[in-house]
Structure 1
Amino acid sequence: MNLQSQRVVVIGGSSGIGLATAIEAAKQGASIVIAGRSADKMEQAKKLIPAESVEAFQLNNQKEEEVQAFFEKVGAFDHLFTPGASYTRGPITIDTEKAKTPFEGKFWPQYFAAKHAVPHISRDGSIVLMSGAFSQRPMGFGATYGAANGAIESLGKALAVELAPIRVNVVSPGTIWRDGPEGEQRAQAFEEYKEVTLLRRVGYNEEIAHTVLYLMTNKFTTGSVLFPDGGYTLI
């Protein structure tokens, strides 16, 4: 089970989990298409992805017309992963426009991607959506974020039924390590996460990528939600 001679599309493939997935898919012999908002980041990512063919497209995945045009440019492919997201968490009293961001920045972009991928994806291909373990074990200050993640998981199951034999699955990771300034800002959150998981640590991009590649390559898995979260959802 590998991705030899397959074409893999990763929206949000210039950094984080998306980039790690693109790198690992390339190691398995896939040709790679990445998309994201920053042209500079995508050019840097192309240098890190060990594939003979790496295409990069600038894309705002919150705009449906751009998502549709992107897939028309890409054409035929085999697998889609859609981790790219931006959102704000906050309490139920948060400003309504900010409260909408988990759906506007995470749920609807993945819905648009799946919708406009369908005419181009191979019949034995797959779609992997990404939610988050917060859907199963919500904590404070994130009602709409938890709701959006739960909606993505339900969307994955519904699409697995609707789009069969195309396989649709969801990866739902826990907190993932970040380097640099972002990691410094989240240092306290990383320490807190260690205390509420069975494995007593945060995860790494490559570990989530490994899960995504399993969902792409195992041809008997569809409608599933996998939780690479270090046991966060079990405590």
Structure 2
Amino acid sequence: MLLKDKRVVIIGGSAGIGFAAAQAAVVQGASVIIAGRSAEKLEKAKAIIGSDKVEAIQLDNRVEEEIKLFFEKVGPFDHLFTPGASYVLGPITSDSDIAKSSFEGKFWPQYFAVKYASPYLSKSGSIVLMSGAFSQRPLNGGASYAACNGAIESLGKALAVELSPIRVNVVSPGTIRTAREGAAQEKRKRDYEAYKEMCALGRVGQPEEIAHSVLYLWTNTYTTGSTLFPDGGYIFS
């Protein structure tokens, strides 16, 4: 149940959880393709990992045709992880662009990734989608985001049935410490402090901890249709 000699694709692999998963997969002996919108970030991530087992391919996962062409280029592989997302939160009174952003930047990119990846996936392989613990314990001001995460978790179950024997699971993390810049960094720090009060473990998570869950879902050959919640006890606290 290891990744040695397996071929792994991570859409959103240049930073955060995706980058941590790429690092961990390489340590286990996998060849990894990381994809993302920024060529500069991809090359930086590849240099940090420092392995000839890593390939970087630029991809805007919000564009269906780009996703299709991406997987045609990748060809056959074993495991997929889709953490790459871009969205804005807002209350039910928000403009339609904000309301739609979660689905356009997080749900549909993963949906189409699976659609175009599945013909190339090994029948003994797997897919890990990413939602978020907001699906189970939403806070004020994020109705469409909560709905999006719930939809991804339902999608994972449906795809586990439809694509069997390919396994499909979902990882649903809580708040994770990631690098941000400028004003976004200051807001993130405030969010970290608030999250500590809302979860049982009293701290935010690290990308490596979520990557550990992803590797479990890739390598445990009897797990499918499941959602893991590595959230420090957020959803029940």
Q: Percent identity?
A: 66
Deviations 1:42-98, CA, capped at 9 Å, x for gaps = 000111225432111111101110000000000000000000000000111011111
Question: What secondary structure is seen at the aligned counterpart in 1 of 2:92?
Answer: coil
Q: Which amino acid aligns with 2:230?
A: P
Work out whether residues 88 and 102 of structure 1, in 8 Å CA contact, stay in contact via their aligned partners in 2.
yes
Deviations 1:146-197, CA, capped at 9 Å, x for gaps = 0000000000000000000000000000001123524333111110000010
Instruction: Point out 4+ residue stretches in structure 1 off by more than 6 angstroms.
Output: none
- Give distance in 1, aligned partners of 2:50 and 2:222: 28
- Give distance in 1, aligned partners of 2:179 and 2:111: 29
Partner of 1:80: 80
Q: Does 1:202 align with 2:237?
A: no
Question: What secondary structure is seen at the aligned counterpart in 2 of 1:112?
Answer: helix
Q: Does 1:102 align with 2:102?
A: yes
Question: What secondary structure is seen at the aligned counterpart in 2 of 1:233?
Answer: coil
What pairs with 1:115-130 in structure 2 (closer than 5 Å)? 115-130=115-130
Which range is displaced more, 43-52 or 145-154? 43-52
TM-score after normalising by structure 2: 0.97
- Give distance in 1, aligned partners of 2:20 and 2:185: 17
Work out whether residues 131 and 152 of structure 1, in 8 Å CA contact, stay in contact via their aligned partners in 2.
yes
Question: What secondary structure is seen at the aligned counterpart in 2 of 1:137?
Answer: coil
Work out whether residues 199 and 232 of structure 2, in 8 Å CA contact, stay in contact via their aligned partners in 1.
yes
- Give distance in 2, aligned partners of 1:222 and 1:190: 31
Partner of 1:211: 213
Partner of 2:233: 231
Per the TM alignment, residue 219 of structure 1 is displaced from its structure 2 partner at its CA by: 0.3
- Give distance in 2, aligned partners of 1:129 and 1:59: 17
Q: Which amino acid aligns with 2:232?
A: G
Which range is displaced more, 173-182 or 52-61? 173-182
TM-score after normalising by structure 1: 0.98
Question: What secondary structure is seen at the aligned counterpart in 2 of 1:9?
Answer: strand
RMSD over aligned Cα, in angstroms? Answer: 0.9
Q: Which amino acid aligns with 2:216?
A: Y
Unaligned runs of 5+ in 2: none
Partner of 1:37: 37
- Give distance in 2, aligned partners of 1:178 and 1:77: 28
Work out whether residues 16 and 179 of structure 2, in 8 Å CA contact, stay in contact via their aligned partners in 1.
no
Q: Does 1:139 align with 2:139?
A: yes
